[in-house]
Amino acid sequence: MKSFVYNGQPARVVFGSGTIARLPQEIDRLGLKRVLVLATPPKEADARRLAGSLGGAAAGVYAGATMHTPVSVTEDALRVVAELKADGLVAVGGGSTTGLAKAIALRTDLPQIVMPTTYAGSEMTPILGETKDGVKVTQSSPRVLPEVVIYDVDLTMTLPASLSGTSGMNAIAHAVEALYARESNPVIDLMAAEAIGALVSALPVIAEKPHDRDARSKALYGAWLCGICLGSVGMALHHKLCHTLGGSFDLPHAETHTIVLPHALAYNAPAVPAVMQTLRAVLKTDDPAMALYDLAGRIGARRALSEIGMPADGIDIATDRALANPYWNPRALEREPIRALIARAYAGERPR
């Protein structure tokens, strides 16, 4: 067996259905008296109901969380934290809400309880990406790791079928790249394979029956494990491409991941035969990249970057940017094949 380093991130996880009822106990456990409940604007009413149910333990609600964690929003929220003398944060939402909690924790060290409502996985990572003056800067710090994560499948039942599918594919991308990460190790490999299996079986069911609680539980379980993968090992070409494309053309996060993943995997496949063997077993197919492309089709996701707002002249721009400051990748990055990969993803063609 090869030598390895396993870097576990500390987290207390409560998982199940109806686990939101455990929130008061978890607040008590952390010794908090005045938590601030965070949410996105569309989820403000839910956040207010939740804060109301906490009685005196809730200091108030801040429902201004938005994509890519703008520093201006964090500064606004910090004013509210100070005004209300909040001593802890409760984030209910997807990666955007979790990002705001992490950004506040970075600056205040306030304890966080996160209740994820999508499959993005940010709650399991020490990573924070923030945007200032249109530039996204990512850092990693143990200060931003939530103290407690409460996964309540009930909170995910309202996630629209389309967003569930792409959010789940976004999660699968974390696990796929963890399998061939430079820091890959047998513990993370186990979680990655388990996670991909859970999500691949759950997502088509959710696409047809968004209220299927078993499929929702399986997907949330898989997303949790994918978050651990993302937080434990480095990501490679796929994530670099998605960050480049998302940042350059303001493309939607989860949909971009969904479209790019089959192509990035096809590119890396020749360099990672053992990983492809694992994926063939998990996906029960000879062609894992094609299986992920087909899965995107089955869940009704768009498969062309041209359909989600990328301009045609973006292919060369994205190629240049993807090759500048590249992440470590198992296969050397070659300009023409990378350009061809982006062009195929742009057109929605099959991966090869």
Binding site for ligand NAD (CB under 6 A): 40, 42-43, 67-68, 93-97, 99, 117-118, 120-122, 125, 127-129, 155-156, 158-159, 163, 167, 230, 253-254
Task: Rank residues 328 and 335 by Cβ distance to ligand NAD and give the closer one.
Answer: 328
Pick 95 or 222: Cβ nearer ligand NAD = 95
In angstroms, give the least distance from the CB of 157 to ligand NAD: 7
Which residue of the chain is nearest ligand NAD when measured via CB? 95
User: Which residue's CB is nearer to ligand NAD, number 97 or number 112?
Assistant: 97
- Shortest Cβ 193–ligand NAD spacing (Å): 20
CB of 258 to ligand NAD, least distance (A): 11
Query: HEC string of the chain?
Result: CCCCCCCCCCCEEEEECCHHHHHHHHHHHCCCCCEEEECCHHHHHHHHHHHHHCHHHEEEEECCCCCCCEHHHHHHHHHHHHHHCCCEEEEEECHHHHHHHHHHHHHHCCCEEEEECCCCCHHHCCEEEEEECCEEEEEECHHHCCCEEEEEHHHHCCCCHHHHHHHHHHHHHHHHHHHCCCCCCHHHHHHHHHHHHHHHHHHHHHHHCCCCHHHHHHHHHHHHHHHHHHHHCCCCHHHHHHHHHHHHHCCCHHHHHHHHHHHHHHHHHHHCHHHHHHHHHHHCCCCHHHHHHHHHHHCCCCCCHHHHCCCCCHHHHHHHHHHCCCCCCCCCCCHHHHHHHHHHHHHCCCCC
Residue 253 or 303: which CB sits closer to ligand NAD?
253
Nearer CB in complex with ligand NAD: 128/200: 128
Write down the least CB distance from residue 161 to ligand NAD, Å: 11
The residue among 223 and 266 lying less far from ligand NAD, judged by its C-beta, is 223
Min dist. Cβ of residue 300 to ligand NAD (A):
17
Cβ 332 to ligand NAD, closest distance in Å?
27
